[in-house]
Chain A
Amino acid sequence: MKEIRQILEAGQRYLKQGKSMVLATVVHIEGSSYREPGARMLISEDGEITGAVSGGCLEGDILRKALMVMQNQKPLLLTYDTSDEENDIITVNLGCNGIIRVLLEPIQTEDPLHALQLLEKCLQQRQASVLVTFFSTEGRKSVLQGTKLLFNPRGTFSAQSSLPIDFEMLEADIQQVWKQGKSAFIYLPAIDTNEAAFQAFLEYLPPVPRIVIAGAGNDAQPLVAFGKILGWEMMLIDGRSAYASENRFPDCRLVVGKPKEVIRHIDIDEQTAFVLMSHNYDYDKATLLALLGSAVKYIGLLGPVKKRERMLQELESEGVFLGEGDLNKLFAPTGLNIGAEGPEEIALSVISEIRAVFSGKSGASLRNLTGHIHKRESRFKPSAQSYGIVMLAAGESKRLGVPKQTLPYKNTTLIRHAIHEALGLHTAATVVVIAAEDEALKNHLIDLNVEIAENAAYKEGMASSIRVGIQYFSKHYPHVGHILFMLCDQPYVDTAHLSRLLETQRNSGAHIVASLYEGRRGVPALFHSSIFDELLELKGDTGAKHLIEKHSHEVQTVPFPLAAIDVDTQQERERLR
């Protein structure tokens, strides 16, 4: 974040001076490297650099390539294989062993939402954002590459220049990154085999950590200074205006008042930490009380163990009991055990502990670690657009007597409900296989964003519909590599479960992902294209159950007991009501 801020400041300067600039972004790393994906560097037309993308070994070459890009005004993807010792670009072997991809993009200042503007929007508010940068390892000179999409609660912002894919097609993947709070690498389906395949770096940008210090004493100054170096948002609260003054703490948000009132005006979220160091027992205690039950991630209390014990006892006697959640957030005494003496050392110890807690790390020595320092995901996952859904709705409802597809359910019908859940996945297409000449059902679905495939052989049974579904995709969406088969009469199957099936597939790479209920594996189930030929050979009223058994060893399952409930008989229909 600090780096982004510095880059934006430099960018403003260059804009005023009318200087062109190029933004370098690390979009992917395989193996280990000094910097992480998302590291950025801004280069001006006269060779000035702000930020860094490596420990220094690549900067010289990247600078030259950036100046070349500045002249050509076209983006360029660079690939550095630092795993090779013979590479003479890296004159000093820094011990990094990886393949680093850096995207260079000229900043198009005529575009109101060019890359720097999108970065600016990320910093504007205290909520996470997902920033999308497109690149193509096959087409490293493609002009469609660049930082082009931003998604956050304020909305979706898109550069005016062309994107290799519409936002709607990426929406499901962006939502996934947003929910999981982890960046991801997606490869977009190659819709046109003549065009180069694209990849996208979906970067999760958390809001800047905000540290609120209760107590604007002298010993708060080094703490504020450390925070500023890190680019964190520092805030001070104190009951005394003489202490919490702009004079003593320039460039810092200050609020004067009693804890309960002051805290009401502060937005507390999971990226907020409080440090209670007012040296006033009552002020600290009141602040702690006001923070209980909030979303705050860290509450540090300066003082010995005795102070904590006394405070907790007193609160208990006042009827306030700290739950496990709050106790886990309370770090009293505050700071890591580094033998800190004096305000500067204490500040170092507190800041380090806060960073460890925010990262979910222990704060212990790296040398005792086995394995990687950073557990970085570097695998590319297929975009949601590589998946398709086939809904089997050609059943004759023999046992029920009336067509189950159009049974009323939750203010709509069973099938419309199922379709609604399916569409929530934003896959390439949702294809509903209906019995040929079932005009009634066709009309029933006419306003929905689905495609209808008619099954002339519906009397044969489910296998015929499966065949029709696969053939439809092969013909109209040949790039779809996975098909999810679902029924329309499992009323509890929802977007969440379908989404879990997809995520399991993307994380495991399994060729079959099935739902697990009542000890059996069945639909909804997701199949990789390598299984399509076998599915095409199914006959009669068999579903894919025995194929799932056949491939047992490579099937992943997602338990979902509610999938057992379907509407085959009058009994079940009644139960549904």
Chain B
Amino acid sequence: MKKQAIYLDYNATTPCDPGVVEAMIPYFSRHYGNPSSADHWYGWMAKDAIDEARTEISDLIGAKPEEIIFTSGATESVNLALKGLADFNQHQKKHIITCATEHKAVLDTCAFLEESGYTITRLSTDTDGNISLSEMEANIREDTLCIALMYANNETGVLHPLHSIAAICRKYDVLFFCDATQAVGKLPLDVKNAGIDLMAFSSHKMYGPKGTGALYINSEARSAGILPQIHGGKHEKGMRSGTLNVPAIVGFGEAARICKPLMAVERERLKNLRDTMERDFLSNIPGSRVNGGENRMEHVSNLTFPGIHAEKLLLSVSGDLALSRGSACAGLLQKPSHVLKAMGLSDADALSTLRISLGRFTQEADVFKAIELLKRAILSKQHVVSGMI
């Protein structure tokens, strides 16, 4: 078998940290009890492990353990937050403000609610992906249930101004729901400080296992009322029934514990690598552009290389590099990313956009190799394309 390709798609998912896997192993065949088994050691050990994971995770985001609900992942958390709030408040509050660049989990859920009679305001952004706070404020109505805005965009890394958003939300007594899936574990985040009422995040974006995530719900949100979406046993304080995925949650907790001391150093290291890479592309590939302004996460690079067919490019380098692009398959056609479209990119440009995201195990040598490979591939194709024209 050939050497594994260099993985630069950390925003899609992250490998489990070895410490995470080690922490999980005992919970498969040794401490395999059901945490809801209240009367024996197996159950107690499992529950204790869940409690500890919950404490680590809540500590990471500045919350109290009781404010964390475990789900199967960020997508479920988003569904629970939006549908839960909507269902409980359906008679009084029928309006949600969100943004065109949100993750599909938020947009598709909002679209579903729209079909049930909700009004959804999708804020536009400028070409750098930033919203206008005054536009957001102007759209708040008497019946606005919540404002759903992410912290870090998964495609561009663009960051929304949480403090300012929260201040406006508080002013009008509107709940602030934040999809922080890309940021938790990578950027420092304190939910109390930031003024967030509900927050969705996931384990597999922070070097934990897939299949588990959390929804943070503070007392304001709880008072507003959230209707559980999954019934059957009233687990997680009745908010989300179902036997907990103990090994995954243990891994999630360990991932949270591990990332705390590494965050600052990782950020700086990855920023240097990312900036070096971007500078190289921008100076050596004519017409290349970074999407998203100054205000981005330090390990993400969303680049448009005009004239390049992104899908073909990724496939051609797939033996050596694992990357993502600003488009997705929709049958035989390529659909441009809704995020890039919202930022004003043309379809053609969106289809010529790559997303490179670095992470904990990215080596400097990997980045240099990636730069060389991509430059070669892009320049040769551009040459061909321009030659064809």
Contact = CB atoms under 8 A, between A and B. Distances in A.
Interface string A54-81: 0000000000110110010000000001
Contacts of A87: 66
B222 interface: yes
A81 B51 CA distance: 13
Contact of A68 (B45, B66, B219, B222): B45
Nearest to A87: B66
A68 B44 CA distance: 7
Contact of B41 (A67, A81, A84, A88): A67
B44 A67 contact: yes
A86 interface: yes
Given A68-B48, A81-B64, A86 B41 contact: no
**Residue from B48, B219, B222 having most chain A Cβ neighbours under 10 A:** B48
Contact of A88 (B44, B64, B219, B237): B237
Nearest to B39: A64
Contacts of B222: 86
B66 A84 contact: yes
Interface in A512-540: none
A520 B216 CA distance: 56
Contacts of A86: 66, 219, 222, 237
**Residue from B41, B45, B219 having most chain A Cβ neighbours under 10 A:** B41
Contacts of A81: 64, 66
What size tier do the contact residues of chain A reach? 10 to 19
Contacts of B38: 64
A88 B236 CA distance: 10
A265 B44 CA distance: 55
A84 B44 contact: no
Contacts of B64: 81, 84
A88 B239 CA distance: 13
Contacts of B219: 86
A68 B41 contact: yes
A87 B64 CA distance: 11
Contacts of A68: 41, 44-45, 48
A81 B44 CA distance: 19
A110 B39 CA distance: 29
Nearest to A140: B52
Nearest to A76: B48
Interface residues of B, number: 11
**Residue from A64, A67, A87, A88 having most chain B Cβ neighbours under 10 A:** A64
A71 B42 CA distance: 10
A380 B152 CA distance: 40
Contacts of A65: 44, 48
Nearest to B217: A86
A84 B67 CA distance: 10
A86 B38 CA distance: 19
B114 to A, nearest CB: 32
Contacts of B41: 67-68, 71
Nearest to B234: A88
Contacts of B44: 64-65, 67-68
Contacts of B237: 86, 88
A81 B222 CA distance: 18
A84 B63 CA distance: 13
Nearest to A84: B66
Interface in B195-222: 219, 222
B267 to A, nearest CB: 22
Contacts of B39: 64
Contacts of B45: 68
**Residue from A68, A81, A87 having most chain B Cβ neighbours under 10 A:** A68
Contacts of A67: 41, 44
A86 B221 CA distance: 13
Nearest to B67: A86
A65 B47 CA distance: 10
A64 B222 CA distance: 29
A88 B237 CA distance: 7
A84 B38 CA distance: 22
B58 to A, nearest CB: 12
Contacts of A88: 237
A88 B38 CA distance: 13
A58 to B, nearest CB: 15
A360 B86 CA distance: 58
Nearest to B38: A64
B75 to A, nearest CB: 25
Interface string B21-56: 000000000000000001101001100100000000
B311 to A, nearest CB: 49
Interface string B114-131: 000000000000000000
Interface string A9-43: 00000000000000000000000000000000000
A311 to B, nearest CB: 63
Nearest to B237: A88
Interface string A88-113: 10000000000000000000000000
A81 B58 CA distance: 14
A86 to B, nearest CB: 5
B348 to A, nearest CB: 52
Nearest to B64: A84
Nearest to A83: B64
Contacts of A84: 64, 66
Interface in B12-28: none
A499 B110 CA distance: 66
B33 to A, nearest CB: 11
A80 to B, nearest CB: 11
Nearest to A79: B55
A87 B54 CA distance: 14
A67 B64 CA distance: 27
A81 B39 CA distance: 23
A65 B52 CA distance: 14
B121 to A, nearest CB: 32
A81 to B, nearest CB: 7
Nearest to B40: A67
A357 to B, nearest CB: 43
B84 to A, nearest CB: 16
A71 B33 CA distance: 15
Contacts of B66: 81, 84, 86-87
A545 B150 CA distance: 54
A200 B237 CA distance: 34
A81 B55 CA distance: 13
Nearest to A69: B44
**Residue from B39, B44, B237 having most chain A Cβ neighbours under 10 A:** B44
A4 B222 CA distance: 43
B224 to A, nearest CB: 14
Interface string B76-116: 00000000000000000000000000000000000000000
A64 B40 CA distance: 8
A64 B237 CA distance: 20
B66 to A, nearest CB: 5
A270 B7 CA distance: 76
Interface string B244-257: 00000000000000
Nearest to B48: A68
Nearest to A68: B44
Contacts of A64: 38-39, 44
A91 to B, nearest CB: 13
Contacts of A71: 41
B296 to A, nearest CB: 34
Nearest to B43: A64
A213 B222 CA distance: 60
B233 to A, nearest CB: 13
A87 B220 CA distance: 16
Interface in A130-176: none
12 contacts: A64-B38, A64-B44, A65-B48, A67-B41, A67-B44, A68-B41, A68-B44, A81-B66, A84-B64, A84-B66, A86-B66, A86-B222
Q: Which 4 A-B pairs have the closest CB atoms?
A: A68-B44, A71-B41, A86-B66, A84-B66
Given A65-B44, A65-B48, 11 more contacts: A64-B38, A64-B44, A67-B44, A68-B41, A68-B44, A68-B48, A81-B64, A81-B66, A86-B222, A86-B237, A88-B237
